[in-house]
Structure 1
Amino acid sequence: MLIAQVTDIHLGFQPDDPAELNRKRLDEVVATLLALTPQPDLLLMTGDLTEFGTVASYQTLKTVCAALPFPVLPALGNHDLRENFYAVFPDAPQVGGFLQYCYDAGPLRVIVLDTLEEGRHGGSFDPARAAWLDARLAEDARPTVVVLHHPPIETGNGWMTEDLDAPWVRRLRGVIERHGHVVRLVTGHLHRAIVTGWGGTTLAVCPSSAPQVAIDFREIDPEEPDGRDMIVAEGPGFALHYWTGRDLITHFGSGGEHPVLARYNARMQPTVQHILHERGKTDA
């Protein structure tokens, strides 16, 4: 099973430009995913679907999703607005007014969480949402992927990080630690590819399809701008989560054209043969 992920799309950043940069970058990622063989079984869109949460931006997103040959599972991020999202996607599930739902992916179960608190940049996860997640995890012991926008981690980047002692982080961690069949937390928000251990499982942050956040581990002073790089035009990113039947393996890639430096031809055949022969050996 192959699960694709795109995040932090930020459609509508240039609201009067139908050919805006973020739409172009999303299209490059989509084209790359559609060219895969095999194609993904489903696509996670993990929040900040739009820049300003406008109806027009969600309508653009709906047009993109309608052209895809696989299911799309959306989550909401801090740039999204629930009312406008549901105006365009009225059939999207709701639990207590939040976009939280389960998806049966055969050997895997996917649970999408809503960590949006409108007007707040960081995450939120109140007791009601936590109780819902706890109950869903308790009712099915299949390997489970938990999907959310905000990663509850400290990154080392002073302006794009989370307080590990925040109540919502401790609340979520308490639920995840109780359920050993959570094989991955899949998130966005940070505009970089990041992987870490968290709550007894692995947490993977997908790079954004919109421009990336610059890597910088220096402390940042909110009172003294120092001219550091903040947003950089690295390629539009995506993730692929491959279920082997035993483990979930996460790959990161970027959309757009890439120079091909080698192809599988007669020159490369001996290398392939050697690797496959070696892999088939058993130790005495």
Structure 2
Amino acid sequence: MVLLAQISDLHLDGSERATQRAVRTMEYLRGLATPVDALLVTGDIADHAEVAEYEEAARLLKAPFPVLMCPGNHDARGPYREVLLGEAADEAPVNRVHRVGDIAVLMCDSTIPGRDDGELDERTREWIAATLTELGGTPALVAFHHPMVNMHHPFVDSLRLRNGEELAALLSGFENVVAILTGHTHTAAASSFAGLPLRMSPSVTYALRLPWEGDEITNWEQPPGVAFHVVDENRELITHFRSVA
């Protein structure tokens, strides 16, 4: 069994509010009775992609377990790479694979520089295919920022992944993919895509108000959220959503 936590959309901007919500979330995760095997952070780590925001993220996200990240539409590849990865600034997609226990986690870059919607570009799709091929029968999770399904919310649906059909065609050739994990929605949600479970993490900074909850798009009062994913011995995914008081 592998136990993963997932958070998303910290939107660190130097404000006390954003900082304190991230601090509360990380204190909760560090204080769990049983440590997670890894924490996934699925994008929008910074709000303005400034170096100082990534420096704060690097401090706040320190943990006694691996912290695996991918960028979101508010992030920028250059400063993200320099501060969080310790690499030279580069505008190529930020794609990484990590082994966590008996599974692999592909943290992929679905961002389009300068835009808020998403795309898994040709370089990233080729990387996903090559990585899944190299993994053979190892169970794998594929994680990135933008979901590709209709959330039935006009704002979020206008900013989703643009090329879901290409991803579906790619994944159809691999039997070792267990599930897809995304952020971006600012609400905990579950669906399926290409015959696979799709889980969308709640956000740390603020929650999305759904159309039937009222006219305001954002709910600033709802607590930060965390998703816990268990991948069991049968390669089944079980997800629990929690609010951080």
The TM-score with structure 1 as length reference comes to: 0.80
Which residue is 2:74 aligned to? 79
Q: Distance in 2 between matches of 1:9 and 1:170?
A: 29
Aligned-pair CA distance for 1:42 = 0.8
Q: Distance in 2 between matches of 1:36 and 1:254?
A: 14
Q: Find the residue that maps to 2:104 and give its secondary structure.
A: strand
Matched, 1:38 2:34: yes
Moved more, 232-241 or 84-93: 84-93
Which residue is 2:116 aligned to? 121
Q: Find the residue that maps to 2:130 and give its secondary structure.
A: helix
* Superposed CA offset, 1:189-248 (max 9, x none): 000011001011100000001110101169xxxxxxxx8111002110011111221222
Aligned-pair CA distance for 1:65 = 2.3
Identity, in percent, stands at 29
Q: Which has the larger radius of gyration?
A: 1
Which residue is 1:249 aligned to? 238
Q: Which runs of 5+ in 1 are unaligned?
A: 219-226, 257-284
Q: Find the residue that maps to 2:154 and give its secondary structure.
A: coil
Aligned-pair CA distance for 1:132 = 1.3
Moved more, 124-133 or 198-207: 124-133
Q: State which of 217, 220, 227 in structure 2 corresponds to 1:230.
A: 217
Runs of 4+ in 1 over 4 A off after TM superposition: 92-96, 162-165
Could you say what the CA RMSD is over the residues aligned between the two structures, in angstroms? 2.2
Q: State which of 207, 227, 234 in structure 2 corresponds to 1:239.
A: 227
Size of the aligned set, in residue pairs, is: 241
Q: Distance in 1 between matches of 2:24 and 2:139?
A: 31
Moved more, 130-139 or 154-163: 154-163
1:58 and 1:85 in contact (8 A); partners too: yes
Q: State which of 103, 106, 117 in structure 1 corresponds to 2:101.
A: 106
1:7 and 1:46 in contact (8 A); partners too: yes
Matched, 1:6 2:21: no
Which residue is 1:154 aligned to? 150
Aligned-pair CA distance for 1:106 = 2.3
Aligned-pair CA distance for 1:164 = 8.4
Q: State which of 58, 61, 76 in structure 2 corresponds to 1:65.
A: 61
1:192 and 1:208 in contact (8 A); partners too: yes
Aligned-pair CA distance for 1:165 = 9.4
2:78 and 2:89 in contact (8 A); partners too: no
Which residue is 1:135 aligned to? 130
1:94 and 1:100 in contact (8 A); partners too: no
The TM-score with structure 2 as length reference comes to: 0.92
2:81 and 2:90 in contact (8 A); partners too: no
